[in-house]
Amino acid sequence: MTNNKNTLTGYYKESDEDLWLWDDIPELDMEVGYKVEALLHYERSPFQEISIVDTQGFGRMLVLDGTPQVTTKDGFIYNEMITHIAMTTHREPKRVGMIGGGDCGPSREALKYESVEQIDVVEIDQQVIEVCRRWMTKDSGDEREACIRMIYRDGYKWIQEQKNNLDVLLIDRSDPYGPATSLYKQQFYQYVYDSLTEDGIVVFQSGSPFYNTSILKNTVRSLSKLFPIVHPYVCSIPTFPGGIWSFVVASKKWDPLQADLTRLPCKDTKYIDPETFLASFVLPKYIKNILK
Amino acid sequence: MTNNKNTLTGYYKESDEDLWLWDDIPELDMEVGYKVEALLHYERSPFQEISIVDTQGFGRMLVLDGTPQVTTKDGFIYNEMITHIAMTTHREPKRVGMIGGGDCGPSREALKYESVEQIDVVEIDQQVIEVCRRWMTKDSGDEREACIRMIYRDGYKWIQEQKNNLDVLLIDRSDPYGPATSLYKQQFYQYVYDSLTEDGIVVFQSGSPFYNTSILKNTVRSLSKLFPIVHPYVCSIPTFPGGIWSFVVASKKWDPLQADLTRLPCKDTKYIDPETFLASFVLPKYIKNILK
């Protein structure tokens, strides 16, 4: 496995030098390099190249096709921010769905709510789940993890079979290229709406509000056609290019800005608390202007 | 000037390939590369290598010793966030001092307050100012720019001569290595306190709260020994490694959390408005924990 490193997407090693992982951000004509302490795992699944590395700066990292996805040092920010806004806003989420989120981070966040009875994690690539279980996610020993059901399918097909049965849905879609393209169609937003119960809530990861503003704009526009309550929100994730990242929450009944913040499981969070929850809806002026 | 590119700190060009600028972030074992469209200017001042480049992703960029300092695409965030918190909080700032801030961005923000009579910008390297004037800062044609006085001196020496005469002081110090080291001494904080009027306010740039937490911690601790009101605050600056960045405001009388936000010159800002002003004081929980 430690041979042929130069042939893995994103990795580069010059003779006796250290191994580096290079993430290319074409929208910014920018590259970000991470010094790799150890390449722990590499495999090619039917969908993508999956690797796990240890880095000095960001700890252990899941990498797909050469792009860092989640790290042990800052992954808590993404996991908490995609999960708790909706889970706290809904008064009693029982059935939760997730499309993507293969590292299981968001599902563990969702389990912190006692009302939860079932979490369906829909991930097209079974190998991602298995690699994360082996290398990234320590066994929590929590009996409630039996609530988490893994479904190895295309999220676009799965969502069409869900009708009025999800209280909370989290959509951790990758960029709008390749297999994830369908998750950006207007029809997909309709399927999402139909999958939710009458007081259901959905959250979309919606890309960088700095260099990829069309994802955020289109997500807000598409959801606003269907849902009475739509709010973009942001947080800062150090391993994401540019740092600032956006999400959109859309809700049929409950407004996140009026959420009962005593529901937040603050004993077990590292990023979010009631103040941070509310501040995340305050968009810098240049982002407000994008959405005008 | 376009010869010998490979000898300039940070720049790299392989034979027929594009020129790239590489920023090394040793705390994260990380490198960030920017594709350079044009190297517009390069010189070696008595203090440092100064260059100006055009990039696709971030527009025009001032680079010192190979490290990007400010860009035309996101420089407004830094300039507004180091300036307006203090300028809005003080009810009538007349005399303003700045240590660093050679690109003149913060001084132009400060000029947006009518009460301002004089702004002293103290920059050790005259060449930085001249290069920025030539390449970065369009001539605003604003007559009030006559209020801005450039002082080419070591800020540590200059501050010792200021006694009870500054309403607002902004300290845009670089990292605690080399010539800026003295700006991190406890004695410096005392000089700063003494330079301010009885209702004076100071703001320090205090580094990354993600990977360089000791700067933030030490700044808060040092200022808390002297000032009755001390608040850290954060914002997201895409060209700064990790995105999230910290500042600390310390005030003798006025509390930024009770500022009269109608004073913010919102017609002329791109990042800050009353909501963003207040939200910047909400620290993610992991940063609150650093400061406990």
Q: What is the C-alpha to C-alpha distance for residues B132 and B62, in angstroms, rounded to an integer?
A: 7
Q: Give residue B3's pLDDT.
A: 40
Cβ–Cβ gap B244/A236 under 8 Å: yes
Predicted pLDDT of residue B174: 79
Give the distance from CA A125 to its chain's centroid. 15
* Interchain CB distance below 8 Å, B57 and A278: no
Domain architecture of chain B: domains with CATH: 5-71 (2.30.140.10), 75-290 (3.40.50.150)
DSSP A213: H
Q: What is the reported pLDDT for B104? A: 78
Q: Residue B110's pLDDT band (boundaries 50, 70, 90)?
A: very high
How close does chain A come to B271, measured CA to CA in Å? Answer: 5
Q: Is A209 annotated as a binding residue?
A: no
Asked if the model's pLDDT at residue B250 lies above 60, the reply is yes
Averaged over B234-258, what is the pLDDT?
96
ipTM here: 0.93
For A202, residues 6+ apart whose C-beta sits below 8 A from its C-beta are A86, A168, A169, A170, A171, A192, A196, A223, A227, A249, A250, A251
Asked if A234 and B236 come within 8 Å (Cβ–Cβ), the reply is: yes
- Work out the average pLDDT over B249-263: 98
CB pairs under 8 A between A and B: 123
Report residue A157 as tokens: 């097909």
Over the stretch B18-63, which tens digit does the pLDDT of each residue have?
899 999 999 899 999 999 999 999 999 998 999 999 998 899 999 9
pLDDT, position A3: 40
- Residue A4 is predicted with a pLDDT of 44
What is the pLDDT at residue A148?
92
Binding-site sequence positions of B for S-methyl-5'-thioadenosine: 48, 123, 154-155, 179
Which residues in chain A have their CB less than 8 angstroms from residue B32's CB?
Answer: 30-33
3-state secondary structure of B151: strand
CA of A36: which chain B residue's CA is closest? B29
Q: How far is B121 from chain A (nearest CA, A)?
A: 27
A172, A175, A199, A273: the catalytic one is: A172
A154 versus B14: which is more confidently predicted?
Answer: A154
Torsion of CA A67, A72, A78, A82, to 10 degrees: 110
CB-based contact, A290 to chain B, within 8 Å: no
List the 175-234 stretch of B: residues with Cβ below 8 A of A: 210-211, 234
**B30/A30 Cβ within 8 A:** no
Chain B's closest residue to A236, CA to CA, is B244
Residue A172 falls in the annotated catalytic set: yes
* pLDDT of amino acid B222: 97
CA distances from B234 to B184, B186, B245 (A): 20, 23, 5
Catalytic residue among B23, B54, B172, B255: B172
Nearest CA in chain A to B242: A238
Q: Tokens standing for A28? A: 């910014």
Please, which residues have CB within 8 angstroms of residue A223's CB and are 6 or more apart in sequence? Answer: A189, A202, A204, A230, A248, A250
Closest CA to A171 of A234, A224, A219, A231: A219
pLDDT: which is higher, B7 or A28: A28
DSSP letter for each residue of B86-129: HHHHSSS--EEEEEE-TTSHHHHHHTTSTT--EEEEE-S-HHHH
Q: Does the beta carbon of A58 lie under 8 angstroms from any beta carbon of chain B? A: yes
- Judging contacts by C-beta atoms under 8 Å, the chain B residues touching residue A273 are 285, 288
Among candidates A30, A272, A284 on the partner chain, residue whose Cβ is nearest the Cβ of B34: A30
Interface test with B, best of A17, A19, A30 (most B CBs within 10 A): A30
Residues of A whose CB is below 8 A from B35: 29-30
Please give the pLDDT value at position A262.
97
Q: How many residues does chain B have?
A: 292
The answer to whether residues B132 and B38 touch, using CB atoms and an 8 Å cutoff, is no
Q: What is the pLDDT along chain A (292 residues), one digit of tens a residue?
A: 344 444 688 888 776 788 999 999 998 999 999 999 999 999 999 989 999 999 988 999 999 999 999 999 999 999 999 999 999 999 999 999 999 877 779 999 999 999 999 999 999 999 999 999 899 887 777 788 889 999 999 999 999 999 999 999 999 987 787 767 889 999 999 999 999 999 999 999 999 999 999 999 999 999 999 999 999 999 999 999 999 999 999 999 999 999 999 999 999 999 999 999 999 999 999 999 999 9
Cβ–Cβ of B57/A32 closer than 8 Å?
no
List Cβ neighbours of A20 (8 Å cut-off, separation of 6 or more).
A11, A12, A13, A33, A34, A35, A36, B31
Which segments of chain B does DSSP mark as H helices, in order?
Answer: 75-89, 105-110, 126-135, 155-160, 186-195, 213-224, 274-279, 285-290
